[in-house]
Amino acid sequence: MRKQPTLLSFISLVYSVHASCPSGWLRHNNTCYHFSHDTEAWSNAVAMCHMLDGKLVEIETADENAFLASMSMRFNKNYWIALSDIQEEGIWVWMESKKPLSQIRFSHWHSGQPDNNGQNQNCATINGAGDDGHWYDWYCSYTTVYYICEKEDRESEIIG
């Protein structure tokens, strides 16, 4: 005779589906995000995300940006994102997927950005410190910027 699932096992399954991101990560839709507590240069942020089994965040939709902006404003910090024009000035590319920003239907640059101030701002941030989550180009070598990692929530696809 097959044992019927109990209410408790059903609740546990639902909880595991909705709370399957690792400790220290926040879930939004089917993605887990880690908002760093330390600052790094942009290239080190890329490496740190890989060490955490993720990647530096690539923002593809207004909904995703709204979530990340709200969290960055809540934490009142600026965060590196995976957008850079380091390979060719003025051609902004999501460095993890290698997709040019021009192929993505969404961007959220602040007015006048990117401006390449000082002819050396090749990495992008999402600004949560006194702004509404707009993107800015910034100096890749600055070590005073936090970072956001992302990874797919693979557990959310499990049913039953």
Q: What is the pLDDT of residue 44?
A: 98
User: What is residue 131's predicted lDDT score, i.e. its pLDDT?
Assistant: 75
Q: What is the mean pLDDT of residues 32-60?
A: 97
pLDDT digits (tens, 9 = 90+) for 92-127: 999 999 999 998 889 999 999 999 998 899 999 999
Q: What is the mean pLDDT of residues 14-40?
A: 84
Determine the pLDDT at residue 155.
61
Closest CA to 142 of 46, 68, 57, 39: 39
Is the whole-model pTM more than 0.75?
yes
Residue reference for tokens 């941030």: 125
d(CA 27, CA 32): 4
pLDDT for the residue 20: 86
Cα 142 to chain centroid, rounded = 18
Fold exhibited by the domain 23-157:
Mannose-Binding Protein A; Chain A (3.10.100)
C-alpha pair distances (Å), 54 with each of 2, 105, 115, 151:
40, 23, 29, 5
Map tokens 């997927």 to a residue: 97
In this prediction, residue 16 has a pLDDT band, given cuts at 50, 70 and 90, of very low
Q: Are 145 and 91 in contact (CB under 8 A)?
A: no
Cα 59 vs. chain centroid, distance in angstroms? 7
- First-residue to last-residue Cα distance in the chain: 19
Quickly count: other Cβ atoms within 10 Å of residue 139's Cβ: 16
How many Å apart are CA 78 and CA 156, to the nearest integer? 29
pLDDT digit string, tens, across residues 35-46: 999 999 999 999
